[in-house]
């Protein structure tokens, strides 16, 4: 395989939310999530913030709640309570990701921006 490139990156979904607002995002991952462990976190966009997100010690900036809508197609709702969003800084840069343990990778990620209403 000369001059070939293989890229495996998660799908991109950038999020912008008003400080102190609750947030819910519903969508389909396009694969069965039956028996899968899904995790989703928001982390400060720094090397130490990412390290905290993947190690969960110290904790990431925020952890999404994940509700399964339809496991067959991977339909889920990700949500963050208003108090959780209120705890995020207006002056820091964040990113987020959703990880599937069955696939052993992040399936969606993007920037996470908190702005004043």
Q: Is residue 61 part of a domain?
A: yes
What pLDDT, in 10s, does the model give residues 76-115?
Answer: 999 999 999 999 999 999 999 999 999 999 999 999 999 9
Q: Count the helices and strands in the chain (H runs, E runs).
A: 2, 9
Nearest in space to 89 (alpha carbons), one of 39, 45, 40: 45
Domain range holding 97?
11-115
Predicted confidence at residue 98, as pLDDT, reads 97
Domain count for the chain, please give it. Answer: 1
Q: Is residue 3 part of a domain?
A: no
Q: Is residue 1 part of a domain?
A: no
- Within 10 A of 93 (CB to CB), how many other CB atoms are there? 13
Report the CATH number at residue 41. Answer: 2.60.40.10
Q: Is residue 76 part of a domain?
A: yes
Q: Is residue 48 part of a domain?
A: yes
- For residue 11, pLDDT over 80 is answered with yes
What pLDDT, in 10s, does the model give residues 39-64?
Answer: 999 999 999 999 988 887 788 999 99
Q: Is residue 5 part of a domain?
A: no
């Amino acid at each position: 395989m000369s001059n070939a490139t293989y890229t495996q990156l998660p799908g991109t979904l950038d999020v912008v939310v008003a400080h102190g607002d609750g947030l819910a995002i519903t969508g389909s991952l396009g694969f069965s999530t039956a028996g899968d462990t899904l995790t989703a976190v928001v982390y400060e966009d720094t090397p130490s913030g990412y390290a905290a997100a993947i190690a969960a010690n110290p904790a990431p900036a925020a952890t999404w709640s994940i509700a399964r809508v339809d496991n067959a197609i991977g339909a889920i709702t990700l949500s963050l309570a208003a108090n959780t969003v209120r705890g995020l800084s207006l002056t820091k840069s964040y990113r987020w990701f959703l990880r599937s343990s069955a696939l052993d990778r992040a399936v969606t990620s993007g920037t996470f921006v908190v702005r004043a209403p």
